[in-house]
Structure 1
Amino acid sequence: MRRTTAALAASATLFALLLAGCGNDEASSGSPSTTSGAPSAQGGEAQAFNGVQAGVFVVNFRGAFPKLAEGKDDAKIASILSEGCKDIKAGKSEDEVVENITKRAGGSTEPSSEEAEAIYHMAKLMC
């Protein structure tokens, strides 16, 4: 129960941070996207994703799932997000993405189904 509550709290915090950040991203990328080519826009999104979004994800993951974060460096945790986003963008089903997240987030401690679901929702918001 305690782990689920922490996951929900982290998801709520993450959602609030994303809403605050999304307004800025949409406002700054709305006009340039109509005048710039797709490759430069994708490059900018990848840089922002790697820096800001991955950092937010890592901080929230460590706060919500300290047992799952144990023994993992920031790059390993960030890869849970990046690989999850690849799965989501590839059109994989939610169940399949959650299963893959369970494998990626596991280690000495396996995530519960509720934790894996919370990680999925965190990743989906950031993709």
Structure 2
Amino acid sequence: MIRTTAALAASATLFALLLTGCGDDKASSTPSSSAPAAQSNGDAQVVDNVKAGAFVVSFRGAFPKLADGKDDTKIAGILSDTCKEIKASKSEDDVVKSITKRASGKAEATPEEAKAIYQMAKMMC
């Protein structure tokens, strides 16, 4: 129940950050050196740095055990890879299974956590 509440709080925070960033596209089109890169293995950038940064903050807040030991780039990669799978029309179940693998580290992501991460990512893709 606590993890679900944390995921809901993260989603609300993420939504607020998205609304804040929806104004001027010029700000999000120039990459910031302090924002994590949402690229994985040199692939073309799937999400912009503002969204990746918002995802990282939300992920760390909602899933501190999953974030433990991961740097911002690795967490942003979860978003980027998830967006690639969603845009490739993979089924939700397949994407959630992939998220479970990508998000797990020192702690393993539960199915509920992976589903919450999927929902957060889907809003940002």
TM-score, length-scaled by structure 1:
0.78
RMSD: 2.1
Structure 1, unaligned runs of 5 or more: 26-45
Matched residues, percent identical? 73
Question: How far apart, CA to CA, are the structure 1 residues paired with 2:90 and 2:80?
Answer: 14
Distance 1:69 1:20, change over 3 A: same
**Which consecutive unaligned segments of at least 5 residues does structure 2 have?**
26-43
Task: Report the equivalent of 2:19.
Answer: 19
Q: How many residues align?
A: 109
The equivalent of 1:37 in structure 2 is none
Q: 1:86 aligns with which of 80, 84, 87?
A: 84
1:1-127 matches, within 5 Å, as: 1-25=1-25, 49-127=47-125
TM-score w.r.t. length of structure 2: 0.79
Distance 1:50 1:19, change over 3 A: closer
What displacement does 1:51 show? 1.6
Larger radius of gyration: 1
Structure 1 ranges of 4+ moved more than 2 A? 19-25, 46-50
Q: By how many angstroms is 1:49 displaced?
A: 3.0
Q: Which has the higher helix share?
A: 1
